[in-house]
């Protein structure tokens, strides 16, 4: 079983550890509610050494994650709930002050847990639509009242429903807005980040403010309908991988680790799940890091086309700054 390094984030208990690799549970079919990740797959991940699982209300996989934790406890793979770190997220249709607590309580009910380790605002928008169905018409998307929502996030931490709170898909400007009034600053900002979208300025800003970046789409979501092969078939990464006897995925994940961030990997193939953990007993050279720093940049994830059918002023601004 692999041992995954940990980094530290702020929490209600002071700084506390978080495994740098999380196993993601979002798929196009789970978001559509068609096929959910099987708990047995997540139990296999626990056997391999995964201890951090990333889910969200919109993924519709919270119940699977909770069932996997219960099964791991029953099998003796873990001794207590505290050995597993769970991240889940507030969906945009609950991004109102009075809806935050009911939303996290629903997530906890789905998970079968008394608390989550990290609760994130999924996107800095409000979707005025009760059902989880993507994409939504642009007229249903409005600006979020971030101060009111963040106050409710702080309340969820103060009540012990989550150990830490944070954001996802937030630019440095929007985080700065939160910092201007927050009693509890964000612990984490989960954003798209990989060698093809390196987020250098945002990472620097977050580090200065003691906010950990968690990178999603570390392989450009290869294998999903919204993803592409821009990382796994990148010539520079392939050259490095060939010379080191590694996969391009391993080079990408090692690069992320060396940027001082955590990251969400998502593969349910046992061999690739194991390969994604085999990145900690070697390092990239200065020459290799320099080569990666020169890779042309290309953003993958936009609200337009994924969350909304057509852009409006709110979504266009977010897409242009993140």
- Collapsing DSSP to helix, strand or coil, 266 comes out as coil
- Collapsing DSSP to helix, strand or coil, 163 comes out as strand
Contacts for 109 with CB less than 8 Å, ≥ 6 apart: none
What pLDDT does residue 283 have? 97
What pLDDT does residue 126 have? 96
What pLDDT does residue 216 have? 96
Tell if the pTM clears 0.85, that is, is over it: yes
Ranges of residues in the chain whose predicted pLDDT is under 70: 28-35, 221-228
What pLDDT does residue 28 have? 67
What pLDDT does residue 237 have? 96
Question: What angle is formed at CA 154 by the lines to CA 148 and CA 159, rounded to 5 degrees?
Answer: 125
Cα–Cα distance for residue pair 20/16, rounded to 1 Å: 12
Cα–Cα distance for residue pair 195/252, rounded to 1 Å: 6
Cα–Cα distance for residue pair 310/21, rounded to 1 Å: 34
Backbone angles phi, psi at 87, to 5 degrees: -110, 130
- Collapsing DSSP to helix, strand or coil, 260 comes out as coil
Catalytic residue annotation:
59
């Amino acid at each position: 079983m692999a041992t995954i390094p940990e980094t530290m984030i702020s929490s209600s208990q002071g700084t506390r550890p978080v495994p740098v690799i999380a196993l993601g549970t979002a798929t196009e079919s789970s978001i559509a509610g068609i096929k959910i990740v099987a708990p047995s797959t997540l139990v296999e991940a626990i056997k391999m050494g995964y201890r951090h699982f990333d889910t969200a209300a919109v993924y519709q996989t919270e119940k699977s994650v909770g069932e996997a934790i219960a099964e791991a406890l029953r099998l003796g793979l873990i001794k207590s709930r505290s050995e597993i770190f769970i991240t889940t997220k507030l969906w945009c249709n609950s991004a109102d002050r009075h809806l935050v607590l009911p939303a996290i309580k629903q997530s906890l009910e789905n998970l079968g847990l008394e608390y989550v380790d990290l609760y994130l605002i999924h996107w800095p928008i409000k979707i005025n639509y009760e059902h989880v169905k993507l994409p939504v018409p642009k007229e249903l998307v409005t600006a979020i009242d971030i101060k009111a929502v963040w106050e409710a996030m702080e309340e969820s931490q103060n009540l012990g429903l989550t150990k830490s709170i944070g954001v996802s898909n937030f630019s440095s400007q929007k985080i700065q807005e939160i910092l201007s009034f927050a009693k509890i600053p964000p612990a984490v900002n989960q954003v798209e980040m990989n060698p093809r979208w390196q987020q250098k300025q945002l990472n620097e800003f977050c580090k200065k403010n003691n906010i950990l970046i968690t990178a999603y789409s570390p392989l450009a979501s290869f294998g999903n309908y919204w993803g592409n092969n821009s990382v796994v078939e990148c010539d520079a990464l392939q050259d490095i991988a060939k010379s080191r006897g590694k996969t391009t995925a391993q080079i990408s994940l090692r690069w992320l680790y060396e940027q001082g961030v955590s990251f969400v990997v998502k593969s349910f193939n046992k061999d690739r799940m194991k390969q994604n953990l085999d990145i900690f007993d070697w390092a990239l050279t200065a020459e290799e890091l320099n080569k990666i720093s020169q890779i042309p940049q290309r953003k993958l994830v936009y609200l337009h086309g994924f969350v909304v059918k057509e852009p409006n002023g709110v979504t266009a601004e977010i897409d242009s700054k993140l």
